[in-house]
């Protein structure tokens, strides 16, 4: 990656990506649909600033207050930055099967697909366990729902890994954030954010 994308779709809204003109500066401005990042930073640093701001937009659209988003967007954004770099997330576009492993914050989460009796009994589509690093998914889910459920469990893990307060346990918030993350992954070609040489 040498440059940030010129356009990015966040919360189903197109944003222009442009120069913030000052060192150490980055901001998302939903009013004019711009994400502004200093051009003076190294490519990897620009990408991280960029993902922090994307994350700020995702968190607020999922119902987090501005104040809380100011507090958590860098931590959650850094984990999302690595999620995009370390994985091929194209399964959300229906072009590839769900992978059997996914890196979240540098930890390998195994994705298991099966008919899990416990999930069935609780009427759940999936579950994540942080001690064992397992994401369990009911394998008989329809493809579109399965993509959402996998991203939902990933969202739990991202919030856990980012130590984002107790948001991981706020199911309504996680649901909303997972939909916004799914749309973000579906609506953009994020391979452009991968480091050079990949
Ligand atoms: Zn959940």
- The span from the CA of 21 to the CA of 47, in Å, is 16
Residue 139 CA to ligand 1 center (angstroms) comes to 17
Note the pLDDT of residue 196. 65
Note the pLDDT of residue 197. 52
Give, in degrees to the nearest 5, the angle at Cα 160 between 156 and 165. 110
Residue 130 CA to ligand 1 center (angstroms) comes to 13
Mean pLDDT value of segment 90-108: 95
Residue 54 CA to ligand 1 center (angstroms) comes to 22
- Alpha-carbon dihedral of residues 76, 81, 87, 89, nearest 10 degrees? 80
Note the pLDDT tens digit of each residue in 49-92.
999 999 999 999 999 999 999 999 999 999 999 999 999 999 99
Q: Is the pLDDT of residue 198 over 60?
A: no
Residue 55 CA to ligand 1 center (angstroms) comes to 19
Residue 85 CA to ligand 1 center (angstroms) comes to 24
Q: Three-class SS string for 129-158?
A: ECCCCEEEEECCCCHHHHHHHHHHHHHHHH
Residue 92 CA to ligand 1 center (angstroms) comes to 18
Mean pLDDT value of segment 101-124: 97
Dihedrals phi, psi of 121, to nearest 5 degrees: -60, -35
Q: Is the pLDDT of residue 37 over 90?
A: yes
From the number of C-beta atoms within 10 Å of its C-beta (0-12, 13-18, 19+), residue 65 rates as exposed
Q: Are 176 and 167 in contact (CB under 8 A)?
A: no
Residue 156 CA to ligand 1 center (angstroms) comes to 7
Residue 198 CA to ligand 1 center (angstroms) comes to 32
């Amino acid at each position: 990656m040498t440059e940030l994308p010129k356009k990015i779709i966040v919360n189903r809204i197109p944003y222009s990506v442009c120069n913030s003109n000052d060192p150490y500066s980055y901001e998302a401005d939903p009013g004019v649909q711009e994400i502004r990042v200093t051009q003076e930073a190294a490519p990897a640093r620009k990408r991280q600033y960029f993902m922090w701001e994307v994350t700020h937009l995702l968190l607020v659209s999922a119902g987090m207050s501005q104040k809380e988003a100011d507090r958590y967007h860098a931590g959650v954004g850094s984990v999302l930055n690595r999620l995009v770099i370390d994985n091929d997330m194209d399964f959300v576009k229906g072009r590839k099967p769900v992978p059997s492993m996914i890196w979240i914050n540098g930890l390998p989460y195994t994705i298991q697909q099966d008919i899990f009796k416990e999930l069935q009994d609780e009427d759940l589509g999936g579950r994540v366990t942080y001690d064992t690093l397992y994401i369990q998914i009911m394998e008989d889910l329809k493809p579109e729902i399965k993509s959402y459920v996998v991203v939902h469990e990933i969202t739990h893990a991202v919030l856990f890994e980012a130590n984002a307060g107790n948001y991981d346990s706020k199911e309504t918030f996680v649901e909303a954030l997972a939909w916004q993350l799914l749309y973000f992954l579906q609506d953009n070609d994020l391979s452009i954010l991968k480091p050079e040489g990949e």
